Structures are given as C-alpha cells and as structure tokens.
Amino acid sequence: MSKQDKINNFDPNALGDANNNIYGLPFTTDEAEVVVLPVPWEVTVSYSAGTALGPQAIFNASFQVDLFDPKIADAWKIGLAMETIPDDIASKSESLRRKSEAYIALLEEGETSETNSTMKDIQNAVNAECVKLNLWVKNKSFSYINKNKIVALLGGDHSTPLGLIQALAEKHNSFAILQIDAHADLREAYEGFEFSHASIMYNAIKIPQVSRLVQVGIRDYCEFEYDLIKKSGGRIVTFFDRDIKRKQYEGTTWATICNEVIAQLPNDIYLSFDIDGLDPKLCPNTGTPVAGGFEFEQVLMLIEKIVDSGRKIIAFDINEVAPGGDEWDANVGARLLYRIANMVAKSNGKASLM
C-alpha cells in the first residue's frame, strides 16, 4: 500500500492503533518526512536513572495523543515514524550504567581514577563505548539526512544527540544550537566522563560549524560554565531562567522575550530540548529536576515564533524523559514530540499553517 493509500484509508479521529507506528500512524520510516531515532542510553547519568526507558514510554503514551494540531493543517499527513528501539544499545547502556554507578560511588568517597586502577578501567571503558555510540548515532542520522528526512532524536540522557549534531555539521556549513534546558551542560569531562550528559554542549561547541549556542531557561550551572559563557565572545548566549522570570515580573511579555531569543538565532537552527527545561511538575521523574522552568505552551510558543520568523529547524532532539510510577512524564514528552515535529516540518516546507 502506498503512502497516499494509507492516508486515504486512515481515520485520524479513531482510537490509536497499537499495531501501527508511533501515535498510531500507519507510516514506515521510508514514508515519513520526520523520523524519530530512539537512543535508550544513560551511561553517565549522575543523579537519578530511568531516561533510557524514555523512548519506549513515549511510544506507549503516544497512542493517547489526539492527532489534530490547531497550528498545522492535516499535521498527521506529514508522516512521522519511529525506528525500532535498539535492544543492543539499551543492553549496553544498562551494563555500563552499573559500572559508572560504582565509579561515581568511589568518586564520592574521595577516590580518583589517577590512583584507583578499577576507576581508571571503568572510565576508559565508558569513554570508549560513548565514542562508539556517537558514531552509531552519526551514521544512523546521516543515512536519514541523505534521504531528505528530518531527524528527531529521542533520548536517553542528554549526551545522546552529539552524533546527530556531528552528522549535521557535514551537511551544513553553519548553524546554531537552541538549547532549552535547566542546566548549561558546559562541563568539561564531567566526573571524568568525556561524553557526559553534563558535557553535551561543551562537546557540541567544539564543532566549527556550530556558529552559536543560544541557551534558554538555564538555572543550574557551576562557576566554570558561567565563566565559559562570559568569555565566549558572544558565541554562547544564555537566557537564564531567573532573568526571564524577573523581566516577566516587571511587566515584560513572554512574546517580547521570545523575540529577543529569536534575534540571536541565524537562519538554520538545531533544537536541543532537555525535558528538565520545563517546570518539574511536568517532568517530576527526570534525572536532575530543578525548581523553576517553563510551562508547556510557553516553550511551544517560542518554537512557533521561530518557525513563523522564517527560520529553519534542521533537526531536533528531546531528552531526559524518565517514566515514573505513572505515564505522566511520557504523556508530556509524547505531546511535545508531536507538536514540535509538526512545527519543524513546517519550517522545512513540509507542512502548511492552518
């Protein structure tokens, strides 16, 4: 059956069919304009685990999401499909996570990898496997980018999209990263792990094609990260959560702040969304929740205004969704993924506004 035949025979108002792909949509990754790449990896998580379960939880929750999007005409027809969750990546993550937990426990007791051979072995093993993971993500992403697909990476912890960013750097001479996050993620080899979730943006800005990093909602960071921002010569522009809140308390509208953010962005943008950028009431089980943050529609308004400005979001990720005892975090993550995917498709000329 062709994609058009599937569209003709699909009822977007019906109950989500669990035999279909994500959101109950009938499309394959070959037919989809937006391909979701799940990466169930959380090897270096330093507080609470669970993000490796995020892709499956979001997939499961997606069947409860209504497919009507008030911003995008016939959004479901764009074609959204998720790759099969790689069991080998999940298994490797679980085994390495146990080792890194032992390493971190020793670190907290005052041991170091310079004097403890067991810690050094774990550190080397984790760093080596993270290199392999980055290459796997890069190659997977590149295969879809070469087919003119939009890649939406679904973590896992926030270390997972580095390979996607590397793949984009081979296709684009210059682009900015828009990071929505509670954390700056600019630590250098955090806890000895070069590819830590806390180092993703430190590693990303090593890529020459990343012209600028614009961070929004940051509210947890160390002095090293703060100094790196201040000494970046404007390459890193950070809209701290406290400054955003105080402007709003003094009467500045969110629309005005969105325009200030957009003014810092070039035409081509990679969107990196750590779920803990939201108010933790929306993601209470995420790995490292921090008080403060955004409302659901607040972030979507920013993304919509970026798209309305004519800028292009070339790819995106959503990370750090960790299911708890219920489906709340996954429910929020699934709804974010759908709305953002539709807007990103619009920015690439693959959808129309209502």
CA distance 173 to 156: 28
Q: Is the pLDDT of residue 192 over 90?
A: no
Q: How confident is the model at residue 45 (pLDDT cuts 50, 70, 90)?
A: confident
| Counted domains in the chain | 1
Classify the C-alpha dihedral 19-335-66-153 as positive or negative: negative
pLDDT > 90? residue 59: yes
Give the rounded percent of residues in the chain with a pLDDT score beyond 70: 98
Reported confidence tier of residue 326, pLDDT bands at 50, 70, 90: confident
**Cα–Cα distance measured from residue 85 to residue 57, given in angstroms and rounded to the nearest whole number:** 11
Q: What is the pLDDT of residue 353?
A: 59
Query: Which band of pLDDT confidence, cut at 50, 70 and 90, is reported for residue 314?
Result: very high
Mean pLDDT of the 94-107 span: 91
Cβ atoms of residues 210 and 302 within 8 Å = no
Instruction: Reduce the secondary structure of the chain to three states and give it as a string.
Output: CCHHHHHHHCCCCCCCCCCCCHHHCCCCCCCCCEEEEEECCCCCCCCCCCHHHHHHHHHHHHCCCCCCCCCEECHHHHCEEECCCCHHHHHHHHHHHHHHHHHHHHHHCCCCCCCCHHHHHHHHHHHHHHHHHHHHHHHHHHHHHCCCCEEEEEECCCCCCHHHHHHHHCCCCCEEEEEECCECCCCCCHHHCCCCHHHHHHHHCCCCCEEEEEEEEECECCHHHHHHHHCCCCCEEEEEHHHHHHHHHCCCCHHHHHHHHHCCCCCEEEEEEEHHHECCCCCCCCCCCCCCCECHHHHHHHHHHHHHCCCEEEEEEEECCCCCCCCHHHHHHHHHHHHHHHHHHHHCCCCEEC
Q: Give the model's pLDDT for residue 352.
A: 66
Is 223 a residue whose pLDDT tops 90?
yes
Rg (CA), the chain: 20
Exposed / middle / buried, residue 148 (Cβ in 10 Å: 0-12, 13-18, 19+): exposed
Q: Side by side, which strands form the sheet with 210-218?
A: 80-82, 34-39, 150-155, 312-319, 268-274, 175-180, 210-218, 236-240
Provide the 10 A C-beta neighbour count for residue 132: 11
Percent of the chain with pLDDT over 90: 88
For residue 354, name the pLDDT band (cuts at 50, 70, 90).
Answer: low
- Type of residue numbered 105: A
Q: Is the pLDDT of residue 258 over 60?
A: yes
Query: What is the C-alpha separation between 280 and 38, in angstroms, rounded?
Result: 23
- Determine the average pLDDT of the residues in 310-323: 97
Q: What is the tens place of the pLDDT at every residue in 268-305?
A: 999 999 999 999 999 999 989 999 999 999 999 999 99
Which domain covers residue 314, as residue numbers? 3-353
Is residue 311's pLDDT more than 60? yes
Per the CB < 8 A criterion, the answer to whether 330 and 58 are in contact is yes
Asked whether the predicted pLDDT for residue 238 surpasses 90, the reply is yes
pLDDT at 47: 65
Mean pLDDT of the chain: 95
Average pLDDT over residues 249-263: 98
Contact predicate 163/207, CB 8 Å: no
Q: How far apart are CA 35 and CA 337, in angstroms?
A: 11
The C-alpha atoms of residue 350 and residue 307 are separated, in whole angstroms, by 12
* CATH number assigned to the domain comprising residue 226: 3.40.800.10
- Of the two residues 152 and 101, the one the predictor is more confident about is 152
